[in-house]
Amino acid sequence: MPGILVALGGNALQRAGGSGSWAEARLQMRGAVGVLAEIAADGVELALTHGNGPQVGVLLRQNELGAREVPARPMDVLGAETQGQVGYLIQTELTPALRLRGVDRTVLTVVSRTEVAADDPAFQHPTKPVGRYYTEEEARVLRKQTGWAMQYDGARGGWRRVVPSPRPVRWLEGPAVRHLMQAGLGAGWVPVVSGGGGIPVVLRPDGGYEGVEAVIDKDLAASLVARELGLDTLAVVTDVPGAAVAFGKPGERWLGEVSVDELARYQARGEFASGSMGPKVEAGLDFLSNGGQRFLITDIPSLARAVRGEAGTRVTAPG
């Protein structure tokens, strides 16, 4: 269906270098929802997903500080908690912004599970850093006491826990949300789904699902969500106005309208860093190769203009 999935990055949820307080989070979100309401006011079918890295980091630290009195919660449960937390924040700020523009839609948060393969190679090679930095001695103790995989970050001079990052296979709540959106005939709902890539679950022998200690790449999950909802546009919102080649180097060039083949060539030659723009571009190429029509990379201030074809990095499927 004609419509857009907006994947909100951390900049829409938490200011870099800020205190991380709830009041600050509300102010940060309040600055982001105006452009989302503007898009909805144009009659566009709108769905949202979001990151949750800072929020999970806070809960992991609370786990540590409260461990003597309260049993720690596993990663999948923390993912569920942050989906509710951030979804509530979006509902609180986006609802009045929609009403201000005369848009009668209900913002609905759906706690979402994402199936991953139990035999995904990522489970044997954890790579995704989570939580705070530790000293070498702390890392040694944690590795022994908990069995965590720990990785040294030379740039920061500290150790961090790393967890598996398996590829998303299926969004379990997807068919229900798609039915809900279609029943609303394009005017009734703004679903907030699959936050942080979704709660990672694997299929049990009895046909049920069980959460696992992992983090799913939120951009790849966004591609899956957009395809499941049948939306024609995926917009990944980050803290820069678009993608660039030779980023931060002499000859840096920001990309506007580019072809799928051109973007794929830049990706293949390593123009986009694996820890930042690379997964976003990979997600966009995945979306376009599986039926999506348009992929955007931009920041919050430029989002509405990017949707209109006036800003950001814009890629359209051929044909």
Q: Catalytic positions, please?
A: 10-11, 128, 218, 280
Q: How far apart are CA 33 and CA 36, in angstroms?
A: 5
Tell me the angle at which helices 260-268 and 277-289 cross, rounded to the nearest 10 degrees.
140
Full DSSP string of 138-180: HHHHHHHHH--EEEEETTTTEEEEEE--PPP-EETTHHHHHHH
Phi–psi pair at 294, nearest 5 degrees: -150, 140
98, 190 Cβ separation under 8 angstroms: yes
Q: How far apart are CA 114 and CA 228, in angstroms?
A: 12
Q: Which residues lie across from 32 on neighbouring strands?
A: none
Phi–psi pair at 115, nearest 5 degrees: -75, 135
Coil, strand, or helix at residue 236? strand
Q: How far apart are CA 159 and CA 266, in angstroms?
A: 32
**In a 10 Å sphere around its CB, with 0-12 CB exposed, 13-18 middle and 19+ buried, how is residue 170 labelled?**
middle
Q: How far apart are CA 113 and CA 177, in angstroms?
A: 12
The Cβ-side half-sphere exposure at 160, using a 13 Å CA radius, reads 18
